[in-house]
Structure formats: C-alpha cells, structure tokens
Amino acid sequence: ERVTIREFKRRPDLRRMARSIDIQSINFEFGSAAIAPSQYGKVEIIADALHRILRRDRGARILIEGHTDAVGSFESNQVLSERRAASLKRTLV
C-alpha cells in the first residue's frame, strides 16, 4: 500500500507496521534548530547507518523526525520539530 508521508504521519496503524530504527538522538539548544558542533559525531553515525540501509535497499524511504520539550504551545513546538528534522535532512543530503 502506497501512502503519502503526510498520511503516514497521522495514521498510527501505519506507523506501527513500519520498520523503525532509532540510530542516534541529536540534542539541540533550547528553541533552536541548528545542529551544534558537539553533535557532529552523532550526525556522522546517522549518515553511516543510513548509507548502509540504502545500499541494501535502494527503494527505502527514510522519515526523519524532530522533537521538542513540552515548553511552549503545541503549534510552536510542531514548527520547531519540523525545523529540526529539516536541519538534519539538509546536513545529511
């Protein structure tokens, strides 16, 4: 079954069926989406792991998620989460 990323994100049943891997967690400064130099080693670990996955399965789809703490509104935290995920994606690609 082919679904959009948007649909995948909002359907818990699909998320439970997908393979999931937690490679490394990147820590961000409060309210920031910038990857600090202290986190570059973790980024390299993630890049190496994703490279191995994509070598085995060229058609693999990768979803990068960002998270925040509970401080602030849901909306502002959602925006920051998306900015953090995009920041890592830009760094990896």
Residue range 78-93, pLDDT digits in tens:
999 999 999 999 999 8
Q: Which residues contact 83 (CB under 8 A, 6 or more apart)?
A: 33, 66
The per-residue pLDDT for range 20-76, each reduced to its tens digit, is 777 789 999 999 999 999 999 999 999 999 999 899 988 888 888 899 999 999 999
The CATH classification of domain 5-92, taken from the options 3.40.50.2020, 3.40.190.10, 3.40.50.970, 3.30.1330.60: 3.30.1330.60
> What are the extents of the domains in the chain?
5-92
* CA quadruple 13, 50, 66, 24: dihedral sign: positive
Between residues 6 and 47, the one the model is more confident about: 47
Query: CA 81 to CA 91: how far, in whole Å?
Result: 16
pLDDT at 7 over 90: no
Query: CA 1 to CA 7: how far, in whole Å?
Result: 12
pLDDT score of 1: 63
